[in-house]
Amino acid sequence: MAPTGDEPVTIATLTLPVDTLRRFIAEEDLRSRVPYLWDPHPVTRFDPLLAAMVKAVAAASEVGADDLYAQSAAQFIAAHLLAPHSSGSGRTAGLLSSGQLETILSYMRANLDQPVSVGDLASLVSLSRFHFVRCFKATTGFTPYRYLTELRIDLARKYLETGDDTIARIGRRCGFSGSEHFSRSFRRVMGCTPSQYRTRRSCALGQSLPVL
């Protein structure tokens, strides 16, 4: 889409490594989609979702986002390029197709530190909010909110185990609105608070070290 008006325009270019596409194709068994990559039309036309992701990656880069963010964003973009608009033909009634599900999950992983609404997710696969929630739960067994929370808690566990960030900062990096929200959600999933989890992991690591 060509820019309009007299406002200055910033052009951002994002290069996705071929190895990332190849790895995604192999992991998701999408070899039948490879010919799609040679069709330039879906890539050169204006894609609002892809444009939003490029803008998000550029903004994240400016504030020093870590490699985990870049990897998650690359995975989502790969999924979108390879299966951007699943038609749904042949899909079991009431379930998301594999392409739709991967698009949703990749978007979740790429935006764990950002607010993500049901409306955002539903729009990715062109479904109403109500129908999307019903299809997502039928496909995964979880509501979108619960699944997203599980992903965020899993990421928080990695930060708690390997880093020394404060609990509050880890909560923000994983998309929780505040320390109380983070602690409450973490306890509901893991059965303990983030502080208790970090302490237990530290103790377990200390016990596993050989005595010299």
Note if the pTM is more than 0.85.
Answer: no
Q: What pLDDT was estimated at residue 212? A: 37
Q: What pLDDT was estimated at residue 10? A: 64
Over residues 12-66, the pLDDT tens digits come to: 667 777 676 666 666 555 555 454 454 444 444 445 556 666 767 776 677 666 6
Over residues 143-193, the pLDDT tens digits come to: 999 999 999 999 999 999 988 899 999 999 999 988 999 999 999 999 999
Q: What pLDDT was estimated at residue 36? A: 46
- Which of 70, 69, 103, 68 has the alpha carbon at shortest distance from 85? 103
Over residues 88-103, the pLDDT tens digits come to: 444 455 889 988 999 9
- Which of 146, 145, 170, 144 has the alpha carbon at shortest distance from 157? 170
Q: What pLDDT was estimated at residue 136? A: 95
Q: What pLDDT was estimated at residue 187? A: 94
